[in-house]
Structure 1
């Protein structure tokens, strides 16, 4: 048994995250962005292999009603394409419209139950007794408490879902999973309907959950289960997503970083320490004089790229600088979300101009909101997921007139050397297909 998988993701980096885990098992994975025409999917997929189809609704920052509407439309489209497993992919720390989107998926499918796993042990996300941890720190004490758009106020996942959902929420404790009572808990929850939120602390726990849930028609939560589920399904036929694709000559890359997460800061610092060129978009300047800031950064980026150098363009990311930018936004009557969107939008315009005026065909973007903005600016509506670089962080091929090798990274994922490894990875993809 091997289902056709349909995933509804609430942001573009999460869409790639889950796609990369399936791609590592040899699945053909395509991601369609929020700007894609869902009605055109049958035509776009005609004659193309697609084992896993991911739709990004870009709904994490929307109001609950609009987010639910986007999820329902995507779920119905995927169901109409013959997907037999539907997955509501969320942030691994349950930011956004989690409960509202869970309800929308079940409503659209006419389903009454779904099992949810938020944990992603390889990226430091674990759940014990319903409390979610980030690298051992309770979620509401982690760096996510300072998220500029969705600051976390509780580590209890049942509270997060119950506050947004009209369905009952149940839990699968770690003890039941490890002592052989998980099937009993699953069946009891299924009879009552709603959601079963599963504890998970280790990769062994994740494997046990995959064994328990591998035939479920509805799954919810982070992408981590996608690493283990295929071990319980029939394997796919071999597939080379880059066969016949012109990836251009060897060359440099553009890196764009808009996340304020400490993981992204460490990755930027490692890139610069290794001799990488860095350009910084001042937050206050971005809000007060956006056109001047954009033009100056784009001109400098083009200059570096034309010299054959890889260059990183980033927003200010240290806490004090971020605070000053927020205060400047408040003085202009802007909320935190609008400030974030303006900064990421400006970075995206710099990326668009830099790529338009150079032959560069490799792009790495750090941060979910920034990744969405860059995809909109470049007109990227479809990607083919390629290979994982680090857990939850794959490369992709942007389906454009001139194919673009692309990495879209969640701000809080990845090791300090991620940018360096990503650049090596992109060049190895090109050289292996000469």
Structure 2
């Protein structure tokens, strides 16, 4: 391997794996830190952790274990993959993980850029924008687990690390990779780098040629394979045609619109936090309902922010989240046992729960459904997944994903 990626959730792992695959790398996504060596022909390995909302100590421990495994596979550069909305809390986990990785790798600078212009994420003057809105006005301020109330990434990261936080502005980035390198401070630092166009990300990729550690969203990987002579390619795909289901646990604005569009024309079952915590619905009863439906049904827990907040106040944030995630995990496993082979999942935490429930070890990357979201197949099994981060995709995403799994569209 040439490049190793440590992703803090499963949807983000698929996202950056797609970016690397489309840039010409042979890449696989690993669920958790593998016990065995990787297949020798891979150019990149993406280790998917569920560390974004884990306790800081656990996130650091797991990230270091992933780093050690990737280094043992020959990786020359490590990428810490975070969400393009920089989801975190004042305590972490982005800063503490980067500090630990930097010390392990002997890094002097850590370039940090979560921008993904194709998906409406841009960093300008150190501030993160979602479309034409500052991060804290984009809906992310209402995230049930990692609410983002500050768009200034310099302040966000500085609250999480003992390292200095520097900034390379867009005016410098526009001058190219040499200007970016020249702008790096002499002392060690984490460096927020502006990016408002894909061309900026390619320049950052070139500037990162000699860096052992970088951090960002999937866009940070756009220019990395070219440093190793790779040329763009389209991932292949063998169709999967079995029964399908859509599972949504994301409460983002985009996902709620996708749920509303899909539910208007397909069977849909809403799982409330109250029902999940009380055990009023179980994986067995939900599986029975899914099997009884015609077409491809939807099971969702994608309530408005006010409803989510009320549930958290009643049951506690972790209790409500774990109850719903556990339900989706068990439901996915039950449905695959009954022959379901196409599963579309919305939400990072929900995706992690589903993949864990299916005991998937390695995911093979297929073509893109939407920017940042590929079709993936569980290695060795005829099961296709789409793991969608909350805010990604248009309103027809679910239909598009199911069609691509079958080789249509």
Aligned to 2:29: 31
Asked whether the equivalents of residues 256 and 302 of structure 2 are also in contact (C-alpha less than 8 Å), the reply is no
Alpha-carbon distance, 1:316 to partner: 4.1
Aligned to 1:281: 271
> For 2:235 and 2:314, how far apart are their aligned partners in 1?
49
| 1:323 correspondence with 2:312 | no
- Describe the superposition over 1:177-223 as per-residue Cα deviations: whole angstroms up to 9, x where unpaired: 2246x635534535311222101112232233233334433221111
- Residue 62 of structure 1 aligns to a residue in which SS? coil
- Residue 392 of structure 2 aligns to a residue in which SS? coil
- Residue 195 of structure 1 aligns to a residue in which SS? strand
- Given the alignment, which residue of 296, 299, 303 partners 2:288? 299
> For 2:375 and 2:337, how far apart are their aligned partners in 1?
21
Aligned to 2:328: 347
> For 1:319 and 1:140, how far apart are their aligned partners in 2?
14
Aligned to 2:110: 114
Asked whether the equivalents of residues 28 and 362 of structure 2 are also in contact (C-alpha less than 8 Å), the reply is yes
- Describe the superposition over 1:56-112 as per-residue Cα deviations: whole angstroms up to 9, x where unpaired: 221111122221111111111111110112101111121231111111211221222
- The 1:240–1:144 alpha-carbon spacing in structure 2 relative to 1, beyond 3 Å, is closer
Gaps of 5+ in 1: 330-334
Asked whether the equivalents of residues 6 and 48 of structure 2 are also in contact (C-alpha less than 8 Å), the reply is yes
Aligned to 2:47: 55
Asked whether the equivalents of residues 22 and 233 of structure 2 are also in contact (C-alpha less than 8 Å), the reply is no
Matches within 5 A, 1:373-388: 373-388=353-368
- Residue 164 of structure 1 aligns to a residue in which SS? coil
Aligned to 1:422: 401
Asked whether the equivalents of residues 22 and 232 of structure 2 are also in contact (C-alpha less than 8 Å), the reply is no
Aligned to 2:87: 95
> For 1:265 and 1:238, how far apart are their aligned partners in 2?
33
Deviates more, 1:277-286 or 1:11-20: 277-286
Asked whether the equivalents of residues 277 and 319 of structure 2 are also in contact (C-alpha less than 8 Å), the reply is no
Asked whether the equivalents of residues 93 and 139 of structure 1 are also in contact (C-alpha less than 8 Å), the reply is yes
> For 2:399 and 2:221, how far apart are their aligned partners in 1?
26
Aligned to 1:252: 243
| Count of residues paired in the alignment | 405
Deviates more, 1:214-223 or 1:155-164: 214-223
- Describe the superposition over 1:304-356 as per-residue Cα deviations: whole angstroms up to 9, x where unpaired: 2xx5x211111142234323422431xxxxx2133112112112212221221
| 1:269 correspondence with 2:249 | no
Asked whether the equivalents of residues 169 and 194 of structure 1 are also in contact (C-alpha less than 8 Å), the reply is yes
- Describe the superposition over 1:17-72 as per-residue Cα deviations: whole angstroms up to 9, x where unpaired: 100111123322111112x4x3x231xx24x5311101122111112222111111
> For 1:80 and 1:194, how far apart are their aligned partners in 2?
26
| 1:200 correspondence with 2:206 | no
- Residue 79 of structure 1 aligns to a residue in which SS? helix
- The 1:21–1:105 alpha-carbon spacing in structure 2 relative to 1, beyond 3 Å, is same
Asked whether the equivalents of residues 105 and 212 of structure 2 are also in contact (C-alpha less than 8 Å), the reply is no
- The 1:294–1:360 alpha-carbon spacing in structure 2 relative to 1, beyond 3 Å, is closer
Task: State the TM-score, normalizing by the size of structure 1.
Answer: 0.87
Gaps of 5+ in 2: none
Aligned to 1:332: none
